[in-house]
Amino acid sequence: MAWRMEGRLPRKLAAILYADVAGYSRLTGDDEEGTHRLLSEYLNVFSHTIEEHQGNVVHYAGDAVLADFNTVSEAVSCATHIQSKIGVRNQGVPGESKLQFRIGVNLGEVIVDRDDIYGDGVNIAARLEALADPGGICISEAARSAVGKKLGLRYEDMGEQKVKNIEAPVRAYRVSLKSSTADDSVPLSEERLTTRPTVAVLPFKNLAGETEDDYFAEGITEEIMNALSRFREMVVAARGSSFLVAEKALDSERAASALGVRYVVEGSVRRVGNRVRITAKLIEGATGHQIWSERYDRILDDIFAVQDDVAQKIVVMLTGKIEQADRNHTLKKGTSELSAYEYVLRGRHFLKDNHPTKEELLHARSLFEQAVERDPRYAAAYTGLASSYELELLRGWAVPPETAGERCLEFAKKAIELDENDAIAHLVLSAAYWHVESNYELAKQQLETAIELNPNYYWNYCYGCWFSACAGDLDVSVEHAREAIRRSPLLPDGCLYTLGFTEYLAGRYENVISTIGRISAPEPESLACLAAAYAQLGRDEEARKIAEDFRSMDDSGSMNVTEWRCYWEQYLNFKDSKMLDHLVQGLEKAGLVGASV
């Protein structure tokens, strides 16, 4: 009697990516050890890129990789990024020695068993891989229909293909690694390398000389690479390429040239006893000019916590310095020379960290509009437009305000439609839901998505502490403020004020005094909050002194209740009006409220 397993095995619908090396047997025959070493490095590229696209490596089998994704868009996007990174690595390598992958992508049902997947969904992906060119991608009709126009790629119909062990013919499409909106002569990978900031993180050197410390230096390097990769405006050289160049002991300029990047990050680690000193530098590749450097001294209570903390601080500084360097370069160019990315950089410059004049805001908007004209599928341009309408609404400049609100929502949603993994777009949509629709639940969801996509983006936490405070999540607001301060300790004033503001709303007046007292250059708003805290504690003399300081800095002097309410409601949207009542009550006690209305 035949034995069979009772019950059905679990199944799921998945986007499947299958890849292997073209001509692997020949390559190993020519140079077995060298080919294996390169394969290991390239498989690291697969691993990191699949993780970045929220995929899962099911297994490796020799030179083959099997992975699955929740969406076809992520699978195809991942495949194009992998081929782009490996293409950059292969530049300058003799043709007969190049390690090139073929990739197949399919959408289909698979059987899930013992952490592996099986069935025709996998088999078709493998057959599509065999149809792809070396360095190319081939996808099924199901995958082609699902991805639609989301990625801005071109697809060449290869017709129906009869493939091994699959009964029905499979309709296949060859993916062109050129943007459908760009000049056909410019590969997508090359376009990114020439118009957006490209950076290589060279392995940090272990200066202690002890081989057991090598893993710590490598860990710092890996953390910085992974964190930088979450910034959608940046292209980060693959780990294998950076480590290979480092082995050749090239200086920064030659390393940048070999890797085809604009910026190089290098550094060192020296451990003595239970202390460690980490240095990091950002260098412009073309000139060898050092843009930024910093030194971090830490006690190694928890080596991995130190590694994470220092890497985060380095990344926050790096991203700011890289954008500033790119912005300075862009401002010197004529407008006829600008790419869409450079128009966006100029627009951000005129938004002045959300404190523009009306004229600056309108100029920034015109720059974002020109970026859209240059590249209608550039998500960051729509994010900039959404931000401009949000600021116009908050400043009270929009006539009528309803139109600005509608445009803000429209452009924020368009940005996410074009790039659902853009953390900044989700952050702006969160602000739109909060200020335009007073939808705190959707705003919270978008904020959480932004943080999940890029937990290293400083402004996620600056915005998060304001939103959470006004939504009534005071403990969450405090956490966000502290996270922002931890990530950017050199620029804490804005988040110190928000932290103090939140502590006031929570009734922690002593904390308000301590927190705002740490601000290096207090603004009128922080002084008003501080005066209110002193007044709530009954420390009237100190409250009066701070109120005088406030009046000396702010033209409005004291305002009546209605004016204060209008002032705060112009910038903030409290979920519970009692929170605003609490604030105005403190201002009144401090003598900053004139005749009540």
Q: What are the tens digits of pLDDT across the range 318-344? A: 888 888 888 887 887 776 668 888 899
Lowest mean pLDDT among 55-64, 530-539, 546-555: 546-555
DSSP tally for the chain: helices H, then strands E = 24, 14
| Mean pLDDT value of segment 83-99 | 74
What's phi and psi for 378, nearest 5 deg? -95, 105
How far are the Cα atoms of 197, 325, 346, 380, 409 from residue 329, in angstroms, in the given order? Answer: 11, 6, 10, 19, 32
Find the distance separating the first CA and the last CA of the chain, reported in whole Å: 92
**pLDDT attached to residue 251:** 81
Higher-confidence residue of 169 and 186: namely 169
| Mean pLDDT value of segment 249-276 | 85
pLDDT averaged over the chain? 84
SS3 292: strand
**pLDDT attached to residue 492:** 65
**pLDDT attached to residue 190:** 37
The answer on pLDDT for 5 being more than 60 is no
Predicted TM-score (pTM) of the model is 0.64
Whether 46 and 38 have beta carbons less than 8 Å apart is answered as no
Whether 201 and 311 have beta carbons less than 8 Å apart is answered as no
What's phi and psi for 415, nearest 5 deg? -60, -45
**pLDDT attached to residue 490:** 57
The answer on pLDDT for 54 being more than 60 is yes
Phi-psi bin for 418: left (phi > 0), alpha (psi -120 to 50), beta? alpha
The answer on pLDDT for 3 being more than 60 is no
How far are the Cα atoms of 76, 110, 120, 200, 397 from residue 19, in angstroms, in the given order? Answer: 12, 17, 16, 26, 54
Q: 469: pLDDT confidence band, cut at 50, 70 and 90?
A: very high
